[in-house]
Amino acid sequence: MRADGGDVHCDSLAGTELGASALSLPPSLRPGRRPATRAHAALVAAGLLVAAVVYARLRGESELGSPDALRVQGQTLSYSATFAAREGIRTIEVKESSFSPIFSAAGKATLDPRDIASIDANALGTVRRVLKYEGDSVKPGDALAEIGSPALARLQAATLLRAREAPGGAPLGVSIVRSPLEGTVIERRIVTGQSVNGERVVFVVANLDRLLLELPVDARQAGVISVGDRVELIRESTGASIDGRVAQLSAGADGSGSPFIARVAVDNRGRHLRPGQTVTAKLYASGGARGLVIPNRAVAWIAGHPAVFVTTGHNSVSASPVTLGGCNGDQTEVSVGLAAGQHIVSDGVGVLKDESLL
């Protein structure tokens, strides 16, 4: 069969049509498949190499010669110099130094017992008039209420009769309840027309310009706190701070010696606090002694307990539990678990903890 000039030659994989001349080529002149086979093998080899590199990268390459190397054996971690440089791991020597800790404690604002007065009715009778109410400011001697007392009227009349004196301007039988101190009426327990006896408390007046904050502290903290130490009070409602001073340090009410109570005097003329309000405070102790002090950033919390990474060799550290003492904001005292001269990780602690899954 002969092909004419109208035969179609197409290189597509689908619908290929070849003329008779193509069909009659000898085998020696037909295209060979070896070059295509070699190219395919080269591509496969390159793909396997890339996969091996990616797999090794994902594994983190545990050999210490790798830039990302970190080997974990129990609590001991070993890493390469490149890893330390990249992650910013640095160590410091533990030294003993003077230390004045800052303690945090929470307590309630209370009235100073010297600045509060409970005022009796001072007569048996009926309340004629109430002159002061809750929140009113008073001075010593100010009248708070009037009480009409028939018994008092008879006594006064008899006294005047014996003295042959005429009654003055004040009506007989009226007892005036007065404030003994300067302050604010915080309680009023009577109303007009109410019957009272002389022993009944009818008003409570307190000086709100000065308040006390009672803070529980343990024996160790009490050992470095002194009267006059500065205290910063944080109001939970607004977050604003107020300054105070330690006025007294005494044993707790249970008499056991622990906890102790630090009473803080607070200037409350701005009415920043109210009696009964819960306040968080920072006590700046002035009686600190020498101790082992490390940066706060060197402490790692593992399973809820403090620990540090202590060097055990070149680029090798081990997690070691410690007992912390006081803190001054940037530094923390270590009371148990470290010795002067040891070296610990000061920077990069978070990386070691996260990478080792401690």
Q: For residue 318, which of 103, 77, 23 has the smallest C-alpha distance?
A: 77
Instruction: Say whether both 106 and 243 belong to one domain.
Output: yes
Please tell me whether residues 136 and 261 are part of one structural domain: no
Last residue of a domain, one of 171, 206, 241: 206
CA distance between the termini of the chain = 83
Would you say residue 266 lies in a domain? yes
The 3-state DSSP class for residue 95 equals strand
Same domain, 126 and 153: yes
Predicted local distance difference test score (pLDDT) of residue 144: 97
Lowest average pLDDT, out of 9-23, 157-171, 320-334, 336-350, goes to: 9-23
Residue pair 89/345 in contact by the 8 Å Cβ criterion: yes
Q: Is 78 domain-assigned?
A: yes
Query: Could you tell me which residue, 170 or 39, shows the higher pLDDT?
Result: 170
Mean model confidence pLDDT for the chain = 80
More confident residue, 67 or 335: 335
Give the domain-ending residue among 227, 249, 284: 284
Quick: pLDDT tens for 343-357.
999 999 999 988 776
Q: Using one digit for the tens of pLDDT, what is the confidence trace for 241-294?
A: 889 999 999 887 555 445 899 999 999 988 888 898 888 999 998 877 788 999
Is it the case that residue 120 has pLDDT exceeding 60?
A: yes
Model confidence at 238: pLDDT above 80: no
Count up the domains in the chain and report the number: 3
- Residue pair 83/62 in contact (Cβ under 8 Å)? The answer is no
Give the pLDDT score at 100: 83
Flag whether pLDDT at 24 surpasses 60. Answer: no
Of the candidate ranges 16-20, 160-164, 289-293, 350-354, the one whose mean pLDDT is the lowest: 16-20
Residue-number span of the structural domain to which 84 is assigned: 70-99+290-356
132 near 138, Cβ under 8 Å?
Answer: yes
Take residue 334 and report the two structure tokens written for it.
């270590």
The domain spanning residue 278 has which CATH number?
A: 2.40.30.170
Q: How far apart are CA 258 and CA 276, in angstroms?
A: 23
Predicted confidence at residue 254, as pLDDT, reads: 53
Same structural domain for residues 278 and 224?
Answer: yes
The pLDDT of residue 326 is: 80
Per mean pLDDT, which range of 66-75, 189-198, 264-273 is the poorest? Answer: 66-75
Question: Measuring CA to CA, how many Å separate 190 from each of 80, 125, 174?
Answer: 81, 12, 16
* Same-domain pairing of 141 and 188: yes
Under 8 Å between Cβ of 142 and 308? no
DSSP-derived letter for residue 298 is G
What pLDDT shows up at residue 291?
A: 84
Do strands 102-111 and 300-302 pair parallel, antiparallel, or not at all (unpaired)?
unpaired
Same domain, 202 and 221: no
Same domain, 107 and 256: yes
Residue 108 and residue 95 share a domain: no
Q: Between 241 and 124, whose confidence is greater?
A: 124
Q: How far apart are CA 131 and CA 192, in angstroms?
A: 10
Tally of residues, the chain? 358
Would residue 9 count as lying in a domain? Answer: no
- Does residue 258 belong to any structural domain of this protein? yes
Q: Which of 8-17, 128-137, 184-193, 199-208 has the lowest mean pLDDT?
A: 8-17
198 and 122 part of one domain: yes
